[in-house]
Amino acid sequence: MNDTMKLEEEIKRLKKEKNAVILAHNYQLPEVQDIADFTGDSLALSQEAADTEADIIVFCGVHFMAETASIISPDKKVLIPDEKAGCSLADTINAEQLKSWKKENPNSVVVSYVNTTAEVKALSDYCCTSANAVHIVNSIPEDKEILFLPDMFLGAYAAKVTGRKIDIWPGECHVHAGIRKQDLDDMQHTHPEAEMIVHPECGCTTNLLYQAENGASTNGNGNGNGHIKFLSTGGMLKHAKESPSKEFIIATETGMLHRLRKDNPDKVFHPARESAVCKYMKMITLPKVLRSLEEEIVEVKVPLDIALQAKKSIDRMLEITS
Ligand code: 13P
Ligand code: SF4
């Protein structure tokens, strides 16, 4: 038995002994995804955290995701194997900044992407993920003004698809913002038959939507038959399985490729940009997962008053999308 196999065996044994569940985001290292009980996008992971019967959730993802799980399941022990696994996008807005933005726009409704701290969620009316941003915006009465934060590309995407006027916070994820239209043009040139699938956090999103408006085919909301699809990481998995295409260009963090290839061995997947790697996601390793289970560290807890407020925006999202 090699070292990795020993680690995996020990993780499985402890998981059973402690009635723990391992949840992993689609960007995690392949070996971490493979040991997980459940892998998924931010929305699916929140739903899984809400439904699990386990006593302990080992959250293999970034801090805001573990925080969300803890807010949804306050009676469970939520552990993150490395508490330094943050998110550069969530760091673009803090509670003080949101308070002043709200003050300037007292009649607006606040929609916060799940990539935010618990404090920011507590000041928000609705939470959303990339899988349901359009759906959430559409559920808000037409006469309401909307503040969307913190991702400007996802915000612009939601505004374009819904036709709503939305005030958008100028935040971005350094990994996705780095995926530019030129990357996709180059890849499309090299792989002309490939279907393009794009995460709406990408820096190329606005340009692609503009291009679509001027003749190129996109599906707009991820449900059509166009050549470019804008999808959450969970949506990418579903679509790749169902599509008759045999070759795809994937514009998102490269961790996504592991599951796509595993689930579709007869199809070919190319990353739009090889260097699109989230260093925070990759901080979670198998030895850290084992240590987390052994020592029950690092527990993620949100102060009760903030958790209760934040939960309202998350529950609203889960109700709308269930
Ligand atoms: P998904 O909700 O599509 O998994 O995206 C989460 C994320 O952090 C993207 O960078
Ligand atoms: Fe945050 Fe970007 Fe990493 Fe997603 S890929 S966790 S948005 S830094």
Say which residue the tokens 């595993």 belong to.
262
- Asked if the model's pLDDT at residue 312 lies above 50, the reply is yes
pLDDT at position 206: 84
12-26, 206-220, 222-236, 272-286: segment of lowest average pLDDT: 206-220
pLDDT at position 221: 36
CA nearest ligand 2 atom 2, residue: 173
Query: Which residues, in sequence order, are CB contacts of 288 under 8 Å at separation 6+?
Result: 81, 82
pLDDT tens readout for residues 92-115: 999 999 999 999 999 999 999 999
Residue 213 — pLDDT band, cuts 50, 70, 90?
low
For 170, the enclosing helix (H) or strand (E) is none
- Asked if the model's pLDDT at residue 280 lies above 90, the reply is yes
What phi and psi, each to the nearest 5 degrees, are found at residue 119?
A: -60, -40
- Look up residue 146 and give its two tokens: 């909307």
pLDDT tens readout for residues 243-279: 999 999 999 999 999 999 999 999 999 999 999 999 9
Domains of the chain listed by start with CATH number: 3-86+281-301 (3.40.50.10800), 90-172 (3.40.50.10800), 176-271 (3.40.50.10800)
| Residue 176 alpha carbon, nearest atom of ligand 1 | 10
pLDDT at position 209: 83
User: Between 224 and 26, where is the model more confident?
Assistant: 26
Residue 78 — pLDDT band, cuts 50, 70, 90?
very high
User: Between 219 and 238, where is the model more confident?
Assistant: 238
Q: How far is the CA of 190 from the centre of ligand 1 (A)?
A: 27
pLDDT at position 321: 83
Is the Cβ atom of 253 under 6 angstroms away from ligand 2?
yes
- Asked if the model's pLDDT at residue 45 lies above 90, the reply is yes
3-class SS of residue 90: helix
- Asked if the model's pLDDT at residue 217 lies above 70, the reply is no
How far apart CA 51 and CA 46 sit, in angstroms, is 9
Report angle CA 167, 115, 140 to the nearest 5 degrees.
45
How far apart CA 164 and CA 145 sit, in angstroms, is 9
pLDDT at position 219: 41
CA dihedral 286, 287, 289, 293 (to 10 degrees): 140
Residue 222 — pLDDT band, cuts 50, 70, 90?
very low
Mean pLDDT of 276-300: 98
CA-nearest of 152, 111, 118 to 135 is: 111
CA-nearest of 142, 135, 108, 138 to 123 is: 108
3-class SS of residue 203: coil
Residue 295 — pLDDT band, cuts 50, 70, 90?
very high
What's the per-residue H, E or C state across 122-136?
HCCCEEECCCCHHHH
- Contact criterion met (CB below 8 Å) for 41 and 129: yes
Q: How far is the CA of 281 from the centre of ligand 1 (A)?
A: 11
Given ligand 2 and candidates 64, 89, 282, which is best to mutate, with the most ligand atoms within 8 Å of its CB? 89
- Contact criterion met (CB below 8 Å) for 112 and 137: no
pLDDT tens readout for residues 140-183: 999 999 999 999 999 999 999 999 999 999 999 999 999 999 99
Q: How far is the CA of 200 from the centre of ligand 1 (A)?
A: 9
What phi and psi, each to the nearest 5 degrees, are found at residue 284?
A: -85, 120
User: What ligand has the least distance to the C-alpha of 281?
Assistant: 2
pLDDT tens readout for residues 57-70: 999 999 999 999 99
User: What ligand has the least distance to the C-alpha of 171?
Assistant: 2
Is the Cβ atom of 286 under 6 angstroms away from ligand 2?
no
Q: How far is the CA of 233 from the centre of ligand 1 (A)?
A: 6
Mean pLDDT of 228-253: 96
> pTM score, two decimals?
0.94
Q: Say which DSSP state 283 is in.
A: G
User: Between 97 and 226, where is the model more confident?
Assistant: 97
Is the Cβ atom of 129 under 6 angstroms away from ligand 1?
yes
User: What ligand has the least distance to the C-alpha of 276?
Assistant: 2
Q: How far is the CA of 13 from the centre of ligand 2 (A)?
A: 31
Given ligand 1 and candidates 64, 68, 112, 114, which is best to mutate, with the most ligand atoms within 8 Å of its CB? 114
Query: Which residues, in sequence order, are CB contacts of 184 under 8 Å at separation 6+?
Result: 196, 198, 204, 208, 249, 251, 272
